[in-house]
Amino acid sequence: MQIDSRDRIVFAAGPFEAFIDRRQDDLRGEEVATLMVPEDRVLMGQCLKLVRRKGRASGEVVRLYRPRGAPLSMDFAGYTLDQQSFIALRLTSHRGYGARDGIPRDPQSGLLPPQAFSELASGKIKQSQETGQDFGVTVIDLPGLGGLCDRLPSPGALGLLRSVGASLRACAFDDNSATEIAQGRYGLVHDGAADLEALRHDLSEIVRQHDPDGEEGRVETSAIDLEGIDQIDEGDLAKGLIYAINQCQRADGAAISLRMLSTSIPQLVHQGINEVALFRRVVANRSFDIVLQPIVSLSTGDIHHYEALCRFDSSRPDLSPYRAITFAEETGLIHDFDLAMAEKVLGWLSGKPRNSDAYRVAVNISGFSIGVDSYVKGLLDLLRAEPWTKGKMLFEITESSKMTDLDSANSFIGSLRDSGYQVCLDDFGAGAASFQYLSALEVDVVKIDGSAVRNAMRGPKGLAFLSALTELCRRLGVTTIAEMIDTKESLDFVRSCGCDFVQGYLFGRPSADLKSFQPLPNLGLLRGSPDRLRGRAGLS
């Protein structure tokens, strides 16, 4: 299509009749945006603006309105030559932003998640430093965006976020240099000559078009001073950036002013880099501890095995490692740690009698680690070299949502099981996709997350749901463990739901000393007559 300076069609060619029930000749004089679904009209206007301003633009997906049938998603491309603008719309071959170029994007805005952004952005920052290219990093705030999204009906909110995303990406170095830091707050790596004033204007205009009567169009930008980062190596810079962005997300976004943020990001980057170095040292020196917590059979009251949990402060065995583990996952350090933990547990087991069943330990593996070849190889080599660990070590996969490739995760799980190690799916019920993982992955055990047990106890349907889950597992030949059992009520509840094993403070807090579980606290509670005791224990 050729379009004039007011976005009207001068000339159109293509199968419009088949697509939108319109003859191409009838389109002359019509505003291009009106051919789109209402939510994408602002986005289309934005695309055309960029075509004129930058000479060319592409990469957006817009949806053609059809009087009969569902909208058609089209790839947009356009260029301007000798003051004449031309655009092409082609049926898209990908479904939304999420599936593009193999890099996961936010499906609404098409922006990169902080981790991918940090890695790509730090590469670009380094590259531009080496080539002497002028670049900038800017944080952009749209303070009214969150409130406006809440007020708009969901297609309108989606259209708004897509238009905001399109403007940001158009101003960034390239498609991969913009991210959402928190709601209404974005990070951008851009060319030193980028026209940030035009971006501010566009964003303000986009918000205003979605909210003509409101006053939400305020846009603030703040350049980040990255002095000193030229000393930092690219990998560490990426990790530092991830850390900084995550800290900003964790803090109440609205509470940190933009000015504070732009001065604190470089500090946060440095702080992140220091924490990375510290964590690496802890892993290299194996300077962390293991505490153990028993997994108790509901049919016999016996301890089947212990879960090994790491601790980073030996004086505080109750201090959760959760923050450090999350940090290691976010910054790509977790696989080294998971391997170190497996080695440490193996070392602990090697000091115990080999002919006893009293020492079996489950080791946690983050879903992130499963995607790392060096981890998979490292663990399998380690186990191959110590075949006596068969049946003495089990593995729990935590953070399953971080597994990117379920087929390769399944083949890793298969290798462990074929070698004689049982595998458990941890945190079941904590995320939306639990059933998908249960169906896709061949595991021996499912560990029902403490939050799922608590939720089930709250409502009248909970008992039915949890009972159905244990029944499903039974049919699949999968054993169930209920986690965070810390009261008699929760114990009775999971028993009546048909769970096979329990773990929780009721039977001991995690401890470095197995004597804490001899005798097992509250064992008497298991002697009562449970509603549905089935007397089966699938763990070998």
Span 436-455, contacts to ligand C2E by CB under 6 A:
450
325 forms part of the interface with ligand C2E (CB under 6 A): yes
The interface with Mg ion within residues 334-373 (CB under 5 A) comprises 364
The reply on whether position 329 binds Mg ion by CB under 5 A is: no
Which DSSP symbol is given to 525? G
Q: In angstroms, what is the minimal distance from the CB of 325 to ligand C2E?
A: 5
Q: For residues 392 and 349, what is the distance between their CA atoms, to the nearest angstrom?
A: 8
Closest distance between ligand C2E and the C-beta of residue 487, in Å? 8
What values do phi and psi take at 292, rounded to 5?
Answer: -125, 150
Query: Which residues lie across from 511 on neighbouring strands?
Result: 292
If one counts every other C-beta atom within 10 angstroms of the C-beta of residue 146, the result is 16
Chosen residue from 128, 486, 514, 538 binding ligand C2E by CB under 6 A: 486
Interacting residue with ligand C2E among 60, 205, 338, 500 (CB under 6 A): 338
Interface with ligand C2E includes 367 (CB under 6 A)? no
Quick one: 260 or 433, whose CB is closer to ligand C2E? 433
Residue from the set 398, 422, 479, 480 that interacts with ligand C2E by CB under 6 A: 398
Q: C-beta of 306: minimal distance to ligand C2E in Å?
A: 12
Q: Which residue, 157 or 424, has its beta carbon nearer to ligand C2E?
A: 424
Token pair in block for residue 388 = 């006596």
Of 336, 426, 444, 500, the residue at the interface with ligand C2E (CB under 6 A) is 426
Q: How far is the CB of 504 from Mg ion (least distance, A)?
A: 11
418: left (phi over 0), alpha (psi -120 to 50) or beta: alpha
Q: Which x/- pattern, by CB under 5 A, does the window 35-54 give for Mg ion?
A: --------------------
Strand blocks (E) in 25-111:
56-64, 72-81, 84-91
Determine the 3-state secondary structure of 269 from DSSP. Answer: helix
Q: Is 310 near ligand C2E (CB under 6 A)?
A: yes
Q: What is the CA radius of gyration of the chain?
A: 28
Q: Nearer Cβ to ligand C2E, position 16 or 306?
A: 306
What amino acid is encoded at 537 in this protein?
A: A
Q: Residues 6 or more apart from 115 whose CB is under 8 A from it?
A: 242, 330
- If the CB atoms of residues 159 and 321 are measured against Mg ion, the closer one turns out to be 321
498 makes contact with ligand C2E (CB under 6 A): no
DSSP 8-state assignment for residue 296: E
- Whole-number minimum distance, CB 364 to ligand C2E, in Å? 4
Task: State the nearest-atom distance from the C-beta of 308 to ligand C2E, in Å.
Answer: 6
Is 320 near ligand C2E (CB under 6 A)? yes
Binder among 7, 40, 336, 427 for Mg ion (CB under 5 A): 427
Burial classification of residue 103, based on how many CB atoms lie within 10 Å of its CB (0-12 exposed, 13-18 middle, 19 or more buried): middle
Between helix 462-476 and helix 450-458 the angle, nearest 10°, is 130
- Choosing from 136, 321, 378, 498, the residue that interacts with ligand C2E (CB under 6 A) is 321
Judged by CB under 5 A, the number of residues near Mg ion is 5
434 near ligand C2E, judged by CB under 6 A: no
> Strands across the sheet with 84-91, in order?
9-11, 2-3, 84-91, 72-81, 56-64
State the CB neighbour count (10 A cutoff) for residue 528.
12
302 binds, among Mg ion, ligand C2E, none (CB under 5 to 8 A by kind): none
Sort strands 135-141 and 185-191 into parallel, antiparallel or unpaired. Answer: antiparallel
Question: Two tokens at 243?
Answer: 């850390």
**Binding residue count for ligand C2E, defined by CB under 6 A:** 25
> Among residues 40, 62, 504, 517, which is the contact residue for ligand C2E, using CB under 6 A?
504
- DSSP readout, 467-479? HHHHHHHHHHT-E
Of 57, 19, 62, 58, the C-alpha closest to 43 is 62
Count of residues in the chain? 540
Write down the least CB distance from residue 517 to ligand C2E, Å. 13
- Work out whether 293 is an interface residue with ligand C2E (CB under 6 A): yes
Q: Are 40 and 159 in contact (CB under 8 A)?
A: yes
Residue 199, helix vs strand vs coil: helix
Among residues 238, 309, 346, 349, the one that binds ligand C2E under rule CB under 6 A: 309
Is 480 an interacting residue with respect to ligand C2E (CB under 6 A)?
Answer: no
Assess 366 for contact with ligand C2E (CB under 6 A): yes
Closest contact distance (angstroms) between CB of 398 and Mg ion is 5
**Cα(219)–Cα(203) distance, rounded to whole angstroms?**
7
Q: Are strands 84-91 and 2-3 parallel, antiparallel or unpaired?
A: antiparallel
Stretch of 79-87, 200-208, 483-491, 519-527 contacting ligand C2E, by CB under 6 A: 483-491
User: Which CB, 241 or 485, lies closer to ligand C2E?
Assistant: 485
Neighbour-count burial for 322-359, b at 16+ CB within 10 Å, e otherwise: eebbebbbbbbbbbbbbbbbbbbbbeebeeeeeeeeeb
What mask, x for binding Mg ion by CB under 5 A, covers residues 385 to 424? -----------x----------------------------
Nearer to ligand C2E, 202 or 399 (CB): 399
Q: Which of 202, 427, 444, 500 binds ligand C2E (CB under 6 A)?
A: 427
Could you write out the DSSP letters of every residue in 18-42?
Answer: HHHS--GGGGTT-BGGGGB-GGGHH
User: Is residue 510 a contact residue for ligand C2E (CB under 6 A)?
Assistant: yes
300 φ, ψ (degrees, to nearest 5): -115, -20
Torsion sign over Cα 358, 364, 365, 367: positive
Interface residues with Mg ion (CB under 5 A) are: 364, 396, 426-427, 483
Binding site for ligand C2E (CB under 6 A): 293, 309-310, 320-322, 325, 334, 338, 341, 364, 366, 396, 398, 426-427, 450, 483-486, 503-505, 510
